[in-house]
Amino acid sequence: RRAIEAASAQTEAVNADLADTQVSLAAEVAQVYIDLRSQQQRLALANQSAALEQKTLDLIRQQRARGVVTDSDVERQTTQVENTKATLIPLDEQITESLDQLAVLTGQAPGALDNELSSPAPLPSLPASVAVEDPASLLKQRPDIRAAERRLAASNAQIGQHEADLFPKVTMLGFIGSNAADPGHLLRKSSFTWLGAPYLQWDVLDFGRTRSQVRQAQAGRDEAEANYTQTVLAALQDANNSLSRYGHQRESVARLQTIEVSANRSSTLMQQRYEAGASSLIDLLDTERVQFDAQQNLIQGRAELLKDFVSLQKSLGLGWSSS
């Protein structure tokens, strides 16, 4: 019975290992998908910014032809356009890498998801709130904790399995057959014969080795208990860190949103001042650069918040149910 108990616990531990791998894979797929959508949004923003800056450069060249601005103004805007276009190349490369990584993670050849995911799409939406409830009970859903607990149970059962060797073992040896001179009588009840005898086995002189095996099993149980404790503590640390990162990132995104609104308003006002001749081209370019950086930072901040949400789901066992 103790051997069956140990084997069953080991089976449940391996199943929990499989579940842990599935959870980790799902989290990695979600995070790579978030990276892909973030990169696509940033690339679209960079293209829009480059197009607007190119129009501004064309206007400045027209003004230079009329002698309104200087060559240095043209060169400054040209530098701005080229800097923005330079950001397009690495973003395009990152998008290709994310598409290939998603294909591999889902068991497909690189490029298999290009047609489905190449078109830009918004980032996934976050829930308004995350119901954490009791973290301790949620942590019980984590497959790695379940695996460690089942291995501890298996190690404990193995102690009893070796302790059973201290007692006699009785095995029933027997023979069942049919014996008849005529083949047609083989299936008659009177033709059946059987013989049974108990077989007693008891290694009285080998108790030293048996007790050593028991102590070895107890040491294995102690190791499994230490591993279980370490797994639980690591899970608690992971959960606390995930909660902290998610909460701080939400505050960071809120500030980035405020910065973006302010940068957009400042860019609009500076454009009006420049068209009215009340500000210089340098002021306008600086404002546009700040606006572009604010928009890029907000997209990255939202992507990081989504990835922190995925990590939070994984660390607390939220959204995961064992069959």
**Distance from C-alpha of 226 to C-alpha of 249, rounded to nearest angstrom:** 34
Does residue 10 carry a pLDDT above 70?
yes
Residue type, 287: T
pLDDT surpassing 60 at residue 120 = yes
Rg (CA), the chain: 35
Least confident range from 91-95, 133-137, 142-146, 277-281: namely 133-137
Output the pLDDT for position 113.
Answer: 95
Confidence of residue 186 (pLDDT cuts 50, 70, 90): low
Strand-pairing partners, residue 196, are 174
> With bands split at pLDDT 50, 70 and 90, how would you rate the model's confidence at 323?
very low
Measured CA to CA, the distance from residue 53 to residue 302 in angstroms comes to 25
Share of the chain above pLDDT 70, in %: 89
Start-to-end Cα distance in the chain: 25
> Alpha-carbon distance 322 to 145, whole Å?
13
Its pTM surpasses 0.85: no
Mean per-residue pLDDT, 126-142: 75
pLDDT class of 224 with cuts at 50, 70, 90: very high
**What pLDDT digit, counting tens, does each position of 158-175 carry?**
998 888 877 777 777 777
Residue 205 has what pLDDT? 65
Which of 242, 310, 286 shows the shortest CA–CA distance to 24?
A: 310
Decide: 49 and 292 in contact? Cβ < 8 Å.
Answer: yes
pLDDT band, very low/low/confident/very high, at 244 (cuts 50, 70, 90): very high
Tell whether the model's pLDDT for residue 239 goes beyond 90: no
Instruction: Report pLDDT digits (tens) over 198-212.
Output: 766 666 667 678 888
**What average pLDDT does the structure give for the chain?**
86
d(CA 84, CA 57): 13
Share of the chain above pLDDT 90, in %: 49
- Of 38-47, 130-139, 220-229, 294-303, the range with the lowest mean pLDDT is 130-139
Which of the residue ranges 86-100, 128-142, 145-159, 276-290 would you say has the lowest mean pLDDT? Answer: 128-142
Q: Please give the C-alpha separations between residue 129 and each of 5, 125, 241, 248, 250, in angstroms, as whole numbers.
A: 42, 12, 18, 14, 11
Answer yes or no: is pLDDT of 320 > 60: no
Residue 67 pLDDT class (50, 70, 90 cuts): confident
Whether the Cβ atoms of residue 78 and residue 9 lie closer than 8 Å to each other: no
CA distance 258 to 298: 10
The encoded tokens of residue 308 equal 């922190």
